[in-house]
Structure 1
């Protein structure tokens, strides 16, 4: 049964190619393209979190940047509140970005070292002319710092005086300054210690409940995504392989790639962990410049056959609300005979 709600963000058949020229000593031999994002579609609804997972280099961050229009897509449509982002004027893009913000992966590189914490958090307010009065703005920034778990008295300190976790809290405060409807979180906890990761994830959950903000949460750690997401999409080599609500995806993965990823997630119970079998994929991910024909996963899939190398599987609905791009989509498709200990 299709969701009858209107999505806050609708990504339809999004593609992004980067041209690559090969050659030596100034001579060009060939011109190819990297298909960083290849026909990706999904929806995000108000107040919900969509988790986007996959290996490094699979196109997750490029997808986020294309949605924000920091990178111009090659083709496809991004609709934010029903409006096509690619057809917006500069003025409309600026207004759109007031309601769509970004939390970057690296808390060390994403903050200007020459600006104080107060200046960093208040910058979006100044750019969008939301709070012209300086005293009112400073009071609001202090309140924001308190909300994200920082000492408001540190408003005049510089980024180098804070730890990685504290800097990421500054980035979160900056993203929430305009009270946006959607925040794209690009691996916001991957550079942090595990204990700090939990604190930041709990903070994001609390802020979502308070402000009703939707998240696109990009990560490569499935256990992190499970903690925060309502729906999850799994990407591989620029393609969306599976897409479902988090419980259906974790309980009944239909794609062999999703099943192999889940087998690598540790379980906190040592007795259960001791009896689990790990699915080890053969080889390394292929180069995105020379992507395999047919199904992009067939070179590593233990179930692949000749059809997989010829025909690209369509992302189809295998259960209500559960989509999978596999010719042999079935619950936990890789059987024990194919699993290595």
Structure 2
């Protein structure tokens, strides 16, 4: 990846916040419970051709971030600048053009494909919507080439999604996302619903396609061991906030945030002797409700090193080492002492 300072980012997210109203049910009846704080004041850049991993527990706001970037959700505040233009201010025609260059791979390969359409129709749908290749024969020839690129038999172009396995369906989704040769693809946990053996195949496919077409990825996942193999930089998210981000090797070798360190302690290591002797960091309690988030640092209610200031003041995301940012009052390498983890990242 080229020096980031020498070029402009393809995507710039600035102080993005997304809240959802709570209008009915038990949460709405709670005193003062009015909005779900899904994403809170997050900022990051993605450069052409790089993979930016976004990691965190289920419900922390990762998918909401991806959907808001693509304006499937409208942001509550903040800006999303894609290719020099503010996505929130785009009119219908501009938005359609933006989505030609920004595509989405969904988490569930069973729910993301229309069961009434053949895979040929599914993969060619973006071409039809954006009026690319109006000649039907030319379009189908191109779809066959896409199926071949993602490892599917082009002769199966007239089959339906139910005739394919989960891994094959996800390959159909990948072919659809690449049909328009976009500049950025948001990969929303694209391997979490697949068997472990199939996950590696899909990750390798995404890596190969990135090298071939120069596409940038926002890669959303809940598993740090998955993003390690595909990401240039990794950001850790908790309860709607960015806790830490840097290049993947710095984050894995020297996490500065206690939450990042605790996540890394759960990453399995293939060496049984190391795995048996390492110390696992178990966090107390459950994540707070995004309807009623804690004051101060959102992680302080579960943090092993929290002090009084953590419950009062929100820590700023600051540069703690070159290119390494962390939102913690007590940021330092391996802040939970006695729990340093060697993941063998050489």
TM-score range with shorter-chain normalisation?
Answer: over 0.9
Aligned equivalent of 1:107, options 84, 106, 109: 109
Please list, as runs of the form range in 1=range in 2, the aligned pairs for 1:36-55 lying within 5 A after superposition: 36-55=38-57
- RMSD across aligned C-alpha pairs, in angstroms? 1.7
User: What residue number does 1:97 align with?
Assistant: 99
Give 1:4 deviation, angstroms. Answer: 3.6
* 2-structure distance, mates of 1:54, 1:276: 22
Q: Secondary structure at the match of 1:156?
A: coil
Give 1:336 deviation, angstroms. Answer: 1.7
Give 1:124 deviation, angstroms. Answer: 0.2
Contact 2:146/2:175 (8 A) holds in 1: yes
C-alpha distance 81-337 of structure 1, shift in aligned 2 (>3 A): closer
User: What residue number does 1:122 align with?
Assistant: 124
* 1-structure distance, mates of 2:240, 2:79: 16
Give 1:275 deviation, angstroms. Answer: 1.2
User: What residue number does 1:207 align with?
Assistant: 209
User: What residue number does 1:141 align with?
Assistant: 143
Q: Secondary structure at the match of 2:298?
A: coil
| More displaced 10-residue stretch of structure 1: 50-59 or 279-288 | 279-288
Q: Secondary structure at the match of 1:43?
A: strand
Give 1:169 deviation, angstroms. Answer: 0.1
Q: In the TM superposition, what whole-angstrom CA distance separates every residue of 1:280-302 from its partner, at most 9, and x where no partner exists?
A: 11111111111000000000001
User: What residue number does 1:314 align with?
Assistant: 316
Give 1:322 deviation, angstroms. Answer: 0.4
Contact 1:2/1:321 (8 A) holds in 2: no
Please list, as runs of the form range in 1=range in 2, the aligned pairs for 1:184-333 lying within 5 A after superposition: 184-333=186-335
* 2-structure distance, mates of 1:27, 1:240: 29
Number of corresponding residues: 338
Find out whether 1:87 has 2:80 as its counterpart: no
Contact 1:295/1:311 (8 A) holds in 2: yes
* 2-structure distance, mates of 1:337, 1:107: 38
* 2-structure distance, mates of 1:275, 1:40: 37
User: Gaps spanning 5+ residues in structure 2: where?
Assistant: 342-346
* 1-structure distance, mates of 2:144, 2:298: 49
Contact 1:22/1:28 (8 A) holds in 2: no
* 2-structure distance, mates of 1:30, 1:334: 35
Contact 2:52/2:234 (8 A) holds in 1: yes
Q: TM-score, normalising length from structure 1?
A: 0.96
| More displaced 10-residue stretch of structure 1: 13-22 or 93-102 | 13-22
Q: Secondary structure at the match of 1:228?
A: coil
User: Gaps spanning 5+ residues in structure 1: where?
Assistant: none
Q: In the TM superposition, what whole-angstrom CA distance separates every residue of 1:40-82 from its partner, at most 9, and x where no partner exists?
A: 1100000000000000000000000000000001000000011
User: What residue number does 1:61 align with?
Assistant: 63
User: What residue number does 2:181 align with?
Assistant: 179
Give 1:231 deviation, angstroms. Answer: 0.4
Contact 1:237/1:288 (8 A) holds in 2: yes
* 2-structure distance, mates of 1:42, 1:194: 30
* 2-structure distance, mates of 1:147, 1:85: 31
* 1-structure distance, mates of 2:29, 2:74: 29
